[in-house]
Chain A
């Protein structure tokens, strides 16, 4: 048997209670939309399915964001054009610097080679010249002065200073043989 509001009121009146006249309203506050959300939340909970996220984005956005965006993009694009020329110049200068560095290395290398390699001695240089050329030179360029010097040595009683005692006998014989030819 369903109890109506009147049944409740009548019962209280029978008890002679002032509660029969009191408002039966609940004074507690409730979050907005609480019961509407409850159905969806409970269904998701019991079926282990995630609540639908919906299509609305929860993120905040700066005011006039989309209105200002084209201008900002254009400005940013202009700012990125200038560095293109500077980049080309930087590239050429970089190549020049690399070439200069390479040349310096080569020069240092050559210089180091020359320093480390001693120049040839007079004897080494003479060895490279053919004997016939040396003889021709002596015959063409010996001076009378030098001939007189040689003769004067021969005529004088002075002892002809001999070269060092370590003159090679084979060298003398070779000299004499050369004179016969």
Chain B
């Protein structure tokens, strides 16, 4: 689906949401359209399904509560990603405090959680990639995840993370190198 059609559909959904008699059906349509993308974006960051589920629900509940005031200056897609990213980073901060993790060793905080996942196999490439991602700093982890897995353009990423495109591109390239090194040294 082209970006134009996608944006048109999102504008239609927003218009339907603003009307009382079509609000619920519009909400359901939005959830159906974006739940999988948002879920995996969250899970790549927090690893555990239950935590991902909690955060995802929180994202859509926030959307429900504030969608009526959404001005439409950003498209629905980037707006939802921004909510999901902020909720995820907030959750990670709380988790760090709960685990009493030192500020200079936040990377790898979820290594144990990752190793406990069903079907985990450190010898398989897809699991190694997840371990490599967990070794990245949080913000860099987000950039890598949005670009490598969600194929998000830097222009939209800039709206999600409120960072310049150049900074994001540099961050992504550094992240790629770190992941390569991690897998190579495996």
Contacts and interface: CB of A to CB of B under 8 A. Distances in A.
B64 A46 contact: yes
Contacts of B49: 28-31
Contacts of B162: none
B61 A42 contact: yes
Interface string A29-47: 1110011001101110111
A45 B176 contact: no
A3 interface: yes
A58 B148 CA distance: 43
B70 interface: no
Contacts of A24: 148-149
B117 A29 contact: yes
A29 B119 contact: yes
Interface stretch (B25-33, B80-88, B95-103): B25-33
A102 interface: no
B43 A28 contact: yes
B93 interface: no
Interface residues on A, range: 20 to 34
Interface string B167-184: 000000100110110010
Interface stretch (A13-21, A86-94, A126-134): A13-21
B118 interface: yes
A43 to B, nearest CB: 5
Interface in A101-151: none
A2 B125 CA distance: 28
Nearest to B152: A3
Given A28-B49, A46-B61, A39 B36 contact: no
A27 B173 contact: no
Contacts of B130: 27-28
A1 B126 contact: no
Contacts of B155: 1
B27 A43 contact: yes
B186 interface: no
B180 A3 contact: no
12 contacts: A3-B151, A15-B173, A17-B177, A18-B180, A23-B125, A31-B49, A38-B31, A38-B35, A41-B57, A42-B57, A45-B57, A46-B65
